[in-house]
A and B are shown apart, each in its own frame.
Chain A
Amino acid sequence: MTCTNSTRSYDQIMNRIVTIALSITMIFLSESLYFGNQALAALSNVSDNCPVFSIKYGCDLSGWLHLIFDGLIAAFLGLFFHHLAHKQGLKLKKIVEEHDAMEKRRREFAIQSLKNHFTTLLFSMSLINKLEPMYASDTKNRDNIKDQINRNYEIISRVIDDIKNLLLFLNDVLEPQIINDVNQLCQTIDQGYVKDVNKQLRLIDYTETKNKINGLCKTFDELHHAVGPVQELFPRISSNSPSNNRTLKKLNYQEIALYCRRILKKLDSSK
């Protein structure tokens, strides 16, 4: 880092020296040509014997020679300004490229964070969804199950707050359509908050939320082409693989409850 900075400052100093030297040369050239011309003219004793292109004592500069000198000065000045403009152009190009790269990184970060948050939402909601039947049937462990459900709702609330903050701070790199859709999703989840009325829980509509999240991810892919299509790659498993014919092991809710209880016990003991 120090090496890069010192190299950069050395380059900057060299560029400045070159620019100053060029400026002084240009000023010297233009001034000497102009004043030399004036001096010759002032000292002249115009004679009819002065040829068109002659530069000598007693002869004024002709219009042609004026034109040539002026042209040369203009060419020098043109080159000098072109050099300056080119330098500024390069600087501007670098600034624009850095800005674009930063914007790309921020967009990538925003989408990545949103996808992580969505994963957390889906996991938490899925767990709530799976614990809900136990809440109605398992009267002995109702409190534990409710604690677990509430804990997941706390995660959901926090994730929704994080998503809202993300939208606030990164709204310049996200498409308005995405911001609207994500806001709507947050509203849907907010409205579906769990309520314990007569031992009945009103839960988030998981399928609806999942569909909305899938829709959002498709929109990400369509609007931001850098993001690959949402699909999963399992190349080593063919469709004829015997593992596909096996009965899939589903979540054992009883085991979840036991595991949750173990966590709660650990938490209680740590207190």
Chain B
Amino acid sequence: MKKILGIDDNADINELLDTILNGSGHEFIYVKSGIEGLKLIREKKFDIVLLDLAMPEFSGFDVINSLVKEGLLTKQKIILFTASSVLDSEIEDLIKKGIHSCIRKPVDVDFLLEKLEQVQV
């Protein structure tokens, strides 16, 4: 069982991930904005953080930059879960900064569960 935090502004995806991940034995909570997500990351420890990049006001990039400044990025296993057109080179740069990996939307449930299972806590 892994403790997973979802940061995504898409309510449907959050709700479905809630059903899927909690239903498959993980402990999943979600927030709808980058600011709330950043606050939770500071306060609690999560095994995996699923981070969307394109969010209004405070994007995933802002979350990453704030974590880099505070030196918290490498302490979290942050997986980008995004539909944005991020180039592979940009992802490579983010991985060098301390991001764990990237899953591009759309994905199906089995694939997502498989990838989350592969993450070593």
- Whether B24 pairs with A252 at a CB distance below 8 angstroms is yes
A59 at the interface (CB under 8 A from B): no
A154→B95 CA distance, assembly (Å): 38
- Whether B106 pairs with A118 at a CB distance below 8 angstroms is yes
- Chain A's closest residue to B81 (CB) is A119
A130→B31 CA distance, assembly (Å): 26
A267 at the interface (CB under 8 A from B): no
- Whether A241 pairs with B118 at a CB distance below 8 angstroms is yes
- Among B20, B100, B119, the residue within 8 A (CB) of A123 is B20
- Whether A155 pairs with B115 at a CB distance below 8 angstroms is no
Q: How far is the CB of A219 from chain B (nearest CB, A)?
A: 13
Residues of chain B lying within 8 A (CB to CB) of residue A119:
13, 83, 105-107
A229→B118 CA distance, assembly (Å): 22
Asked, given contacts A127-B19, A251-B23, whether A246 binds B117 with beta carbons under 8 Å apart, the answer is: yes
Q: Which one, B39-47, B64-72, B84-92, is touching chain A? A: B84-92
A149 at the interface (CB under 8 A from B): no
Residues of chain B lying within 8 A (CB to CB) of residue A112:
54, 83-85
Residues of chain A lying within 8 A (CB to CB) of residue B83:
111-113, 115-116, 119
Q: How many residues of B contact A (CB 8 A)?
A: 40
Q: How many residues of A contact B (CB 8 A)?
A: 49
B57 at the interface (CB under 8 A from A): no
- Chain B's closest residue to A226 (CB) is B85
- Chain B's closest residue to A247 (CB) is B117
Residues of chain A lying within 8 A (CB to CB) of residue B76:
none
Residues of chain A lying within 8 A (CB to CB) of residue B118:
234, 237, 241, 243-244
Can you list, as one digit per residue, whether each of B13-50 has a CB less than 8 Å from chain A (1) or not (0)? Answer: 10111011011110000000000000000000000000
- Among B13, B20, B25, B106, the residue within 8 A (CB) of A249 is B25
Residues of chain B lying within 8 A (CB to CB) of residue A246:
117
Residues of chain B lying within 8 A (CB to CB) of residue A232:
101-104, 107, 111, 115
- Among B13, B111, B114, the residue within 8 A (CB) of A120 is B13
A161→B22 CA distance, assembly (Å): 28
- Whether B87 pairs with A228 at a CB distance below 8 angstroms is yes
Q: Which one, A36-44, A86-94, A254-262, is touching chain B? A: A254-262
- Whether A126 pairs with B108 at a CB distance below 8 angstroms is yes
A224→B54 CA distance, assembly (Å): 18
Residues of A within 8 A of B (CB): 108, 111-113, 115-116, 118-124, 126-127, 130, 155, 158-159, 210, 213, 217, 224, 226-237, 241, 243-244, 246, 248-252, 255-256, 259-260, 263
11 inter-chain pairs at a CB distance below 8 angstroms, sorted by A residue, are A112-B83, A116-B106, A122-B108, A123-B108, A127-B19, A232-B111, A235-B95, A243-B118, A244-B118, A250-B24, A255-B24
